[in-house]
Structure 1
């Protein structure tokens, strides 16, 4: 069984910039920071190729420019806000949802709120720092199908946002 999600990851520059401004206790696993486009949850291993094929069929939207700015909370979870070309990102996310549903992998219809989860524990210093944060822009060139294995994220496939 694989625990799958579809995501875009920030550039190394964006991660480094954010890590430099966060309290040291907050930047524990920046390699896990991402924007979730679709969460599939547990998928039987024999079905993973069907997910990969569905994602490969999604029309590439072209590069999307994003940046981290601001903050918010979901209960005790603190997140960094995502700004930039959100209209195109949202449309692309809907294309992914549709392709996965057509392949038999329906994704919940909750509103899309692009963000990076920074911490699962509330910390006022972290929230204060993020509220006024505005990071560098980066261009997203690919998205990934990722498996969460024992808390580590393992990309299973990557797909370009622009035709080769």
Structure 2
């Protein structure tokens, strides 16, 4: 069984910029920062090729320009906001949702709110830093099917947003 999700990862420059603006205690594991496009949860390993095939059929949206700025919370979770080509990103996410549902892999139907989870514990100082934060623009060029294994993220499949492998 694999715990799968579909994600966009920021550029190294965007990660480094955000990391430098956060307290070191909040900047742990920046390699995990991403925008979740779809969370599938536990999927039997023999079904992974079917998930990848469904994703391969999603029309490529082309590169998407994004920027981290501001913050918000979900309960105790603090996140950095994502700005930029959000209509393009939301349309791409909807194409992913439909492709996965059509292949028998429905995802959470909650409204899409692109963000980077920074901390699972509320901290007023961190929230204030993120609220005032505005990072550089970066271009998302690839999306990936990831497997979360004991707290680590491992790529299973990836494709360029321009449609090239």
What TM-score, normalized to structure 2?
Answer: 0.98
The aligned counterpart of 1:80 is 80
Question: How much has 1:159 moved relative to structure 2?
Answer: 1.0
Gaps of 5+ in 1: none
The aligned counterpart of 2:136 is 136
Post-superposition, which runs of at least 4 consecutive aligned residues in structure 1 deviate over 2 A?
none
The aligned counterpart of 1:40 is 40
Between the aligned partners of 1:112 and 1:37, the Cα distance in structure 2 is: 8
Partners of 1:8 and 1:35 within 8 A in 2? yes
2:4 aligned with 1:4? yes
Between the aligned partners of 2:163 and 2:69, the Cα distance in structure 1 is: 29
Gaps of 5+ in 2: none
Between the aligned partners of 2:163 and 2:100, the Cα distance in structure 1 is: 20
Question: How much has 1:163 moved relative to structure 2?
Answer: 2.9
The aligned counterpart of 1:15 is 15
Count of residues in Structure 1 that have an aligned counterpart in Structure 2:
164
The aligned counterpart of 1:122 is 122
Partners of 1:69 and 1:135 within 8 A in 2? yes
Question: How much has 1:125 moved relative to structure 2?
Answer: 1.2
RMSD (Å), alpha carbons: 0.6
